[in-house]
Amino acid sequence: MAIGDHVLDIGCGTGQTTRDAARLARDGGALGIDLSRNMIELAPRLAVELDIQNATFEQADAQIHPLVPASFDVAISRTSTMFFGDPQAAFANIARALRPGGTITMLVWRGAEHNEWTREFTSALTIARHRPAPAENAPGPLALADPGHVETLLTTAGFADVELLARRAPMWFGADPDDANRFVLGLLGWMLDSLDDTTRSQALDELRATTTAHQTSEGVLYDSGTWLVRARRP
């Protein structure tokens, strides 16, 4: 990333990655987009507090938003592009928004076998209930786990030189089991819907057991694996 780049941050949430990009592209700027109105309302306030003046934010859907063609040098995304309902449309839209030679870099999850956290939390909260597997490549955390699928999506959308680099690191879920449980239930609490009180209590006990088992001196940590995906618009 160069100091004069204009950066598009896809699924920016509350804007941490947008702010980081804006600092690097200090003579350019960074636009963060996200579907969440609450996050987009918070993001600019955080940027002001940190005196970052070249970061802007907009509530927008990357699949359909009329991004200005050839207006960005770089597109980035941290664990967000897996949730596109129509990834082909989204990546084509992003490609159009990049200048020739522009790049996309995104972090996506690898398969469940590389991500202890998804196996452990799913096992705890389903409490031995059968849940049908999602359709192949359906929107969700593991939708871009297959390298062949990712390469096909990006090349069809107009990208070239697609590469996927495997990365592995512990993932932090909270300072202690109470903290981690609150976070996990905020994301996956829907899995407890319609359970009777007894089964719900058992599931919560299972969740606490796994977060307690993963308590370390640095917090609650689980193994995780990702792909760092890079591609270029010709």
pLDDT tens digits for 184-222?
999 899 999 888 999 999 999 999 999 999 999 999 999
Residue pair 141/109 in contact by the 8 Å Cβ criterion:
yes
Phi, psi of 208, deg, nearest 5 = -65, -35
Q: Give pTM, 2 decimals.
A: 0.90
| Confidence check: pLDDT of 114 > 80 | yes
pLDDT of 195 reads 87
Query: What does the pLDDT look like over 6-44, one tens digit per residue?
Result: 999 999 999 999 999 999 999 999 999 999 999 999 999
pLDDT of 171 reads 96
In sequence order, which residues have a C-beta less than 8 Å from that of residue 194 and are 6 or more positions away?
Answer: none
Averaged pLDDT of the chain: 94
| Confidence check: pLDDT of 129 > 70 | no
Tokens of 210: 């796994």
Residue pair 62/93 in contact by the 8 Å Cβ criterion:
yes
Measured CA to CA, the distance from residue 233 to residue 157 in angstroms comes to 9
pLDDT of 128 reads 55
| Confidence check: pLDDT of 132 > 80 | no
pLDDT of 194 reads 82
Strand, coil or helix: 27: coil
Give the residue ranges of DSSP H helices in 25-162: 37-49, 87-97, 116-126, 147-157
pLDDT of 112 reads 93
**pLDDT-derived band of residue 130, with 50, 70 and 90 as boundaries?**
low
pLDDT of 92 reads 97
Measured CA to CA, the distance from residue 123 to residue 206 in angstroms comes to 8
**pLDDT-derived band of residue 105, with 50, 70 and 90 as boundaries?**
very high
- Integer angstrom CA distances of residue 39 from 7, 78, 81, 84: 19, 15, 17, 18
Average of pLDDT values for 87-102? 97
What percent of the chain clears pLDDT 90, i.e. is strictly above it?
Answer: 91
Domain 6-111+136-170+225-232 belongs to what architecture? 3-Layer(aba) Sandwich (3.40)
